[in-house]
């Protein structure tokens, strides 16, 4: 059966993967309300397409932190990709590079920063969890720098791991033939079996619950790389992030895996964009499955979006070719959405191209006479 959209990969991944692995990738926290809402919220945004515009040439290119990419669609950090496919992060890195876009490598990858760098050229960011042992953090950041990574995406929504009940039921742990490669030499690469989720126990033992804004400042003293703060959902924190020297903000609810009943990221996006006042770029992570979703995020002020689950599901289904296909499908859908909305470049995508169910009846611009 030919795959014609991104969402179709999930069912194939479910068939192929062991239950423990599929559930780890697919599930959210507690009632999984936010997990569904991350998707459903997009359907409450409708288009206001402009017609009779010459759309024979469409330019989707953009720059992120000064790096030119082919489209505003990037790869979010997703952990332990070798559980999905033997080539894991190697395959993902090659697919991202071939598509001319950015891959973010997870701290908890099953391939190291050096291994991913060895796949060849590409613009790559490194997602960072702050461990209690700050020497571990400093060492990891230095290794990412040396391996040619261009930015740090600091995850700030995980002082403790969210309650993911599927992982508790499955007694989730990293399969014995895999390690968290970035921590292998530090004796932090293995995850013990636990009475609940092995990952939750690992986080409880290793990740620093004291993490605060002063650590964002500290990080800037140990690296010259730009720091993206990943996990912002409010205007208040957006303002503090800008003041703290963040180079950008990623609006994220961690794929609905941390605190349930937070808003969908597409709902939280606009308040964060307004608070950032154009001083730093704001990106959206969470729930994107269609080119139309990408357009909606940009219309609400995002500078680009990140995809997570579509990467691991397509990786599980078809390896590198699957990830390449996800990126090309999203690219083609996004290009079509732009054309049918009358937008020839990203700067032509405006708030006027959409209407949301939270707009007041008077929110639309007065007609120009």
* Numbered residues of the known binding site for glyoxylate: 24, 129, 164, 254, 257
Write down the residue that tokens 């349930």 correspond to.
260
Strands 124-128 and 151-155: parallel
Looking at 85, 254, 353, 362, which residue is catalytic? 254
254 is catalytic: yes
Q: Are 164 and 197 in contact (CB under 8 A)?
A: yes
Instruction: Extract the annotated binding site for FMN.
Output: 77-79, 106, 127, 155, 230, 252, 285-289, 308-309
Show binding-site residues. 24, 77-79, 106, 127, 129, 155, 164, 230, 252, 254, 257, 285-289, 308-309
* CB 252 within 8 Å of CB 230: yes
3-state secondary structure string, the chain?
CCCCCCCHHHHHHHHHCCHHHHHHHHCCCCCCHHHHHHHHHHHHEEECCCCCCCCCCCECCEEECCEEECCCEEECCCCCHHHCCCCHHHHHHHHHHHHCCCEEECCCCCCCHHHHHCCCCCCEEEEECCECCHHHHHHHHHHHHHCCCCEEEEECCCCCCCCCHHHHHHCCCCCCCCCCHHHHHHCCCCCCCCCCCHHHHHHHHHECCCCCHHHHHHHHHHCCCCEEEEEECCHHHHHHHHHCCCCEEEECCHHHCCCCCCCCHHHHHHHHHHHHCCCCCEEEECCCCCHHHHHHHHHCCCCEEEECHHHHHHHHHHHHHHHHHHHHHHHHHHHHHHHHHCCCEHHHCCHHHEEECCCCCCCCCCCCC
Among candidates 86, 150, 154, 80, which has minimal Cα distance to 121?
150
Longest CA–CA span in the chain (Å) reads 69
Check: CB of residue 9 under 8 Å from CB of residue 26: no
Q: Which residues are tagged catalytic?
A: 254
């Amino acid at each position: 059966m030919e795959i014609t959209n991104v969402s179709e990969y999930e069912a194939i991944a479910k068939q192929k993967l062991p239950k423990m692995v599929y559930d780890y990738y697919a599930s959210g926290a507690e009632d999984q309300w936010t997990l569904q809402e991350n998707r459903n919220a997009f359907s409450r945004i409708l288009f206001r397409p402009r017609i009779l515009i010459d759309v024979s040439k469409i330019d989707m290119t953009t720059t992120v932190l000064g790096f030119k990419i082919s489209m505003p669609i990037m790869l979010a950090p997703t952990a332990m990709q070798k559980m999905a496919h033997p080539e894991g992060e190697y395959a993902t890195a090659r697919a991202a590079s071939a598509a001319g876009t950015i891959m973010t490598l997870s701290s908890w990858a099953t391939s190291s920063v050096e291994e991913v760098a060895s796949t060849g050229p590409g613009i790559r960011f490194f997602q960072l969890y702050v461990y209690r042992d700050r020497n571990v953090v400093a060492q990891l950041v230095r290794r990412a720098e040396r391996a040619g990574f261009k930015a740090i995406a600091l995850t700030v929504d995980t002082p403790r791991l969210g309650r993911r009940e599927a992982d508790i039921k499955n007694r989730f742990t990293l399969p014995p033939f895999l390690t968290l490669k970035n921590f292998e030499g530090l004796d932090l690469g293995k995850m013990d079996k636990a009475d609940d989720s092995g990952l939750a126990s690992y986080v409880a033992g290793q990740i620093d619950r004291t993490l605060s804004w002063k650590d964002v400042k500290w990080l800037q003293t140990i690296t010259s790389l730009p720091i993206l703060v990943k996990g912002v959902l409010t205007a208040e924190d957006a303002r503090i992030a800008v003041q703290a020297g963040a180079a950008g903000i990623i609006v994220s609810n961690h794929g609905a895996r941390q605190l349930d009943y937070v808003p969908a990221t597409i709902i939280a996006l606009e308040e964060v964009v307004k608070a950032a006042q154009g001083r730093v770029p704001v990106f959206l992570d969470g729930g994107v499955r269609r080119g139309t979703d990408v357009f909606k995020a940009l219309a609400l002020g995002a500078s680009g979006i990140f995809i997570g689950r579509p990467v691991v599901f397509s990786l599980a289904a078809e390896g590198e070719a699957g990830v390449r296909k996800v990126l090309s499908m999203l690219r083609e859908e996004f290009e079509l959405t732009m054309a049918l909305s009358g937008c020839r470049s990203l700067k032509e995508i405006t708030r006027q191209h959409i209407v949301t169910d939270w707009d007041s009846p008077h929110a639309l611009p007065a007609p120009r006479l």
